[in-house]
Amino acid sequence: MYKRIIPIVLSVVLLAPGYSFAVHPDVHSWSNEEIALIRSLWLGSLHPLPDDPSNAYDTDTQAIAFGKKLFADSRLSANGKVSCATCHIPDKTFTDNLPVAHGMDDTTRRSMPLAGMAYSPWLFWDGRTDSLWAQALGPIESPVEHGISRTKCVIIISNHYQQEYEQIFGPIPELDKTYKETARPAPDNPEIQSQWEAVSVEDRKAITLLYANIGKAIAAFVRTIVHEASPFDEYAEALFNGDIDRAKTVLTADQAFGLKLFISKAKCINCHNGPLFTNNDFHNVGVPARKGYDPDMGRAEGINLVQANEFNCLGRLSDAGPDDCAELKYIDTDTEKYHGAFKTPSLRNVADRPPYMHAGQLKNLHEVLKFYQNEARKRSAPGNNGFGTDIVHGDITDEDIDYLIAFLRTLSGPIKSY
Ligand code: HEC
Ligand code: HEC
């Protein structure tokens, strides 16, 4: 008899509005340690926008304005329809809400949001580039994204942006008429590779210099895309000012309890830490490959790719000095450790941009939290000694999931750009 009544009474209490005031009466009072953790997540703790030493143009206002135009210019694509903004839509937190991105063709990963990227030492899910300008040059020559060549870029820039380019970077190279528009370095495509080898060594250098420069202009624009304060940040500020009455008007008790879980029992803060809610590192949290896709090695491959990237911080076209590039010089090359590991995504504005994970494997935040719950349970299951992902938190209950989601929704604020 009691067995049947208790759940009914409990669910009435739990479903009543504001119930968690009753369940967690002092949820808005925090210990000093907790306040310190909240401060570490607060947007106000973010240091000023860093300059990229490998890009001499990244604070140049002309380069920023030029980069903004290039970002949205679909003439920089094989079918005249794809620009950076196709997959990084400004009104959709600079992403596209698709499970895997689609440019000239389907890609194998999800488009990533762009706010706060200037703070990120590694770009892409596998971190295969180490600067925003090196990153921008990837999609342009990728056959499934923009699908054009650096040689074609020279033609497009001289037809449409000659003055603008030359004011910032100097003369555009004149190309021999016999060069193929599709010529680019392409070790896995012998025909395209031979077109590139038919270009004189001097012109290959001049073409690649122009290509690097347009990457630097696009990067100067991308660097300006930043987050502004979210309800969580307003709540934190109210707490720092000792204004609990105001704090209570910004976050509900459920949301505040979700924050408590996030920084304590659920251990989300182990990886989603700092004001951008990311440790900028790579972890294998155990997300299975997307149905029908090959397993993705993630960072294990990214480590080699970034070291081999011709546009990296130590490369010929980098503007970095001898004391820069510490990240790349001291890169952790333990590929074993990073097998199936992906970049920890920022959780700012996360509720605005389903689906989730590197190939959009999970449809909504509920699926993400169910996934974490399940991983932790698999880990603690009896007899499980070989199970090795980077997830270490204890059990998350179904109620915890609701609180955590309520908290994640408080991380959405405006996104600003040049
Ligand atoms: C076809 C869709 C598509 C186009 C076009 C595209 N991107 Fe992306 N973008 C993606 C995908 C997918 C990823 C993740 C790819 C990966 O990890 O392999 C990504 C990743 C990024 C990242 C890394 C973010 C992070 O958190 O590390 C940046 C920055 C970025 N893109 C900027 C750009 C710029 C600038 C352009 C134009 C030159 C561009 N993208 C064109 C889909 C696209
Ligand atoms: C061991 C480090 C680690 C811990 C702990 C961790 N995460 Fe993550 N989180 C990641 C990584 C890495 C990804 C991307 C994984 C992938 O795509 O394969 C991710 C993805 C996510 C995403 C999807 C974001 C997106 O843009 O796709 C959400 C939401 C998220 N985590 C929330 C949480 C919450 C809530 C917790 C605590 C219960 C948590 N995470 C604990 C590392 C971690």
Where do the domains of the chain lie, and which CATH numbers do they carry?
Answer: 12-41+228-298+340-416 (1.10.760.10), 61-226 (1.10.760.10)
- Answer yes or no: is the C-beta of 285 below 6 A from any ligand 2 atom: yes
CA distances from 186 to 182, 191, 219 (A): 10, 9, 24
**pLDDT at site 273:** 97
Nearest ligand to the CA atom of 302:
1
Do the beta carbons of residue 6 and residue 222 sit within 8 Å?
no
**pLDDT at site 390:** 78
- Answer yes or no: is the C-beta of 87 below 6 A from any ligand 1 atom: yes
Nearest ligand to the CA atom of 408:
2
- Answer yes or no: is the C-beta of 140 below 6 A from any ligand 1 atom: yes
Task: Return the residue whose CA atom lies nearest to atom 42 of ligand 2.
Answer: 344
- Which atom of ligand 2 lies at the shortest distance from residue 396's CA? 38
**Ligand 1 geometric centre to CA of 73 (Å):** 15
Q: Which residues contact 194 (CB under 8 A, 6 or more apart)?
A: none
Do the beta carbons of residue 66 and residue 168 sit within 8 Å?
yes
Nearest ligand to the CA atom of 281:
2
CA distances from 166 to 52, 66, 161, 209 (A): 22, 11, 8, 13
- Answer yes or no: is the C-beta of 123 below 6 A from any ligand 1 atom: yes
Do the beta carbons of residue 186 and residue 25 sit within 8 Å?
no
- Which atom of ligand 1 lies at the shortest distance from residue 103's CA? 1
Please state whether the predicted TM-score (pTM) of the whole model is above 0.85.
Answer: yes
- Answer yes or no: is the C-beta of 28 below 6 A from any ligand 2 atom: no
- Answer yes or no: is the C-beta of 271 below 6 A from any ligand 2 atom: yes
- Answer yes or no: is the C-beta of 356 below 6 A from any ligand 2 atom: yes
Closest CA to 402 of 112, 36, 24: 24
- Answer yes or no: is the C-beta of 193 below 6 A from any ligand 2 atom: no
| pLDDT tens for the chain, residues 1 to 418 | 344 444 444 444 444 444 444 556 689 999 999 999 999 999 999 999 999 999 999 999 999 999 999 999 999 999 999 999 999 999 999 999 999 999 999 999 999 999 999 999 999 999 999 999 999 999 999 999 999 999 999 999 999 999 999 999 999 999 999 999 999 999 999 999 999 999 999 999 999 999 999 999 999 999 999 999 999 999 999 999 999 999 999 999 999 999 999 999 999 999 999 999 999 999 999 999 999 999 999 999 999 999 999 999 999 999 999 899 999 999 999 999 999 999 999 999 999 999 999 999 999 999 999 999 998 888 777 766 545 677 777 789 999 999 999 999 999 999 999 9
- Answer yes or no: is the C-beta of 135 below 6 A from any ligand 1 atom: yes
Do the beta carbons of residue 382 and residue 390 sit within 8 Å?
no
Do the beta carbons of residue 346 and residue 113 sit within 8 Å?
yes
**pLDDT at site 393:** 76
**pLDDT at site 383:** 67
